[in-house]
Amino acid sequence: MRRTGWMQGLLSAVAAIGLLASAPAKADPVADFYRGKQITFLVGSDPGGGYDLLARLVARHLGQFIPGNPGVIVENMPGAGSILLSNRVYNTAPKDGTVIGLVQRGVLLSETTGQPGVHYDLSKFNWIGSVNAEVSMVTAWHTAPVNSFADLRTIGMVVGGTGATSDSEASARMLIALTGAKLTVVSGYPGTADVILAMERGELQGIADLSWPELKAKGGKYTDGSLKFLAQNELVKSPDMPNVPLTIEFVQNASDKPVAELFWAIKQVARPILSGPNIPPERVAALRDGFDAMVKDPGFLDDAKAMKLELAPSGHASVEAYLAKTKAASPEVKARLTEILNTKK
C-alpha cells in the first residue's frame, strides 16, 4: 500500500508537470503587435546632419529593446524646422506606435512663440526621450573678417538658416535681439550640412548655431582650424572650450536674462523623440522603456563610440519638464520670445 501510494504520488506529480509544460505561454499583446512589423523613424532634417546621424544610430538598436523586436527604418522629412514632421505625426500618421520622430528642438518652443503652420498640441504628444544634450557654437569660416564675438557687434557676419524654428535661425534672431550682434540671415538651406558647404564656397561667412559634438564626430577640416568659434550657446561652458565665452554673457539688458536662460536651456533636451497622441499606453510604455534600456546598452554605447559620438541621453520626463518650464514662464518672457522668434508677428 505504501508503494502504491508513493507511485500514485509520483504519477500525479509527473502529470502536473506535463500540464504546466503544455500550458500556453502568457500572451504579450505588445510583443504580438510589434512582431514582424516595422517602425518608421522620421527625422526632421536632411541626410548627413547631426539629427540624421543620431537617428540612424538609434534605428540600428532600438528594435531589439521593444517586445516583438520590430525593424526600424529612417525616413528624412526636413522642412520648417520639423514643424512639418510634427504635423504629420500628430495628424495623419498611424496612431498605433509604428511611427516616431526625431524633431529639431525648436519645436519645443513653437507653441510658446505662436509659430505659423503649427497644427499640434505639444502636451498631447507622447515623448520618448532625448538622444543627446548639445554643445552649440557661434561659428565663422576661417576667411570671415570676424575673430571674436565683439566683432559681431561691429563688423557683423552673414549666416545661413534652415527654417523658422531651426537652431540656425532662432539662435541668430536671439543674438541679434539680445546681444546686438549684426547678423544677416540667409534662409532656405535644407540642412546644416548645406550651410557648411555654402560657407566653404564663400556664399556665407558663418552660422549662428553649430553642433560641436557633430563637428568632433566628423573631424578633419572641421576641427583643424577651418572654423572659428566665437561663443557658446549654452548656460554652462563645455570643458572642450574653456576659453570660448558664453553668448549669455553678452546679453545687454537684465530683463532679457530670463529670456536667454529659457531659450538656451533647451540644449539639455537637444534631440527629442516623439510619438503621436492616442497611442495605446502599453505601447507608449514599451517605446519609452526600450529607449531607456537602449541608451544604457554596451552595444549601443560601443556603436556611438565608434562614431565618435559623446552622448548625454535623458528620458521622456526631461523633455516634459522643459515643456512645463515653457508653460510656467512669465507673460513678459513669452511675449519677448515671441517677438524675437516669430517672424510673422
The answer to the question of residue 11 being in a domain is: no
| C-alpha distance from residue 154 to each of 46, 161, 231 (Å) | 34, 21, 16
Write out pLDDT tens, residues 71-94.
999 999 988 889 999 999 999 999
Mean pLDDT by 10 residues, the chain (345 residues): 50 49 67 97 88 95 98 92 94 97 93 92 98 94 96 97 83 96 93 90 96 80 84 92 95 96 94 98 98 98 92 96 96 96 77
Q: Which residues contact 247 (CB under 8 A, 6 or more apart)?
A: 138, 149, 175, 179, 231, 232, 233, 234, 260, 264
Query: Are residue 253 and residue 141 in the same domain, yes or no?
Result: yes
Of 247, 265, 283, the one marking the end of a domain is: 265
**Residue 314 belongs to domain spanning:** 33-133+270-341
Q: What is the pLDDT of residue 5?
A: 54
The answer to the question of residue 21 being in a domain is: no
What's the rounded Cα separation, in Å, for the pair 241 and 232?
8
Q: pTM for this structure?
A: 0.83
Query: Are residue 167 and residue 116 in the same domain, yes or no?
Result: no
Q: What is the pLDDT of residue 23?
A: 46
What's the rounded Cα separation, in Å, for the pair 271 and 65?
20
Of 265, 292, 318, the one marking the end of a domain is: 265
The answer to the question of residue 9 being in a domain is: no
What's the rounded Cα separation, in Å, for the pair 243 and 38?
46
Write out pLDDT tens, residues 58-69.
999 999 999 999
Query: Phi then psi for 118, rounded to 5 degrees?
Result: -80, 120
Q: What is the pLDDT of residue 180?
A: 97
CATH of the domain at 145: 3.40.190.10
Query: Are residue 83 and residue 189 in the same domain, yes or no?
Result: no
Query: Are residue 160 and residue 224 in the same domain, yes or no?
Result: yes
Of 243, 265, 287, the one marking the end of a domain is: 265
Q: What is the pLDDT of residue 345?
A: 60
Q: Which residues contact 331 (CB under 8 A, 6 or more apart)?
A: none
Number of domains in the chain: 2
Q: What is the pLDDT of residue 20?
A: 45
Query: Are residue 158 and residue 232 in the same domain, yes or no?
Result: yes
The answer to the question of residue 16 being in a domain is: no
Under a CB-based contact definition with an 8 Å cutoff, are residues 80 and 165 in contact? yes
Query: Are residue 195 and residue 299 in the same domain, yes or no?
Result: no
Q: What is the pLDDT of residue 163?
A: 76
Q: What is the pLDDT of residue 25?
A: 52
CATH of the domain at 65: 3.40.190.150
Under a CB-based contact definition with an 8 Å cutoff, are residues 143 and 202 in contact? yes
Query: Are residue 233 and residue 147 in the same domain, yes or no?
Result: yes
| C-alpha distance from residue 23 to each of 14, 18, 20, 26, 115 (Å) | 14, 9, 5, 9, 57
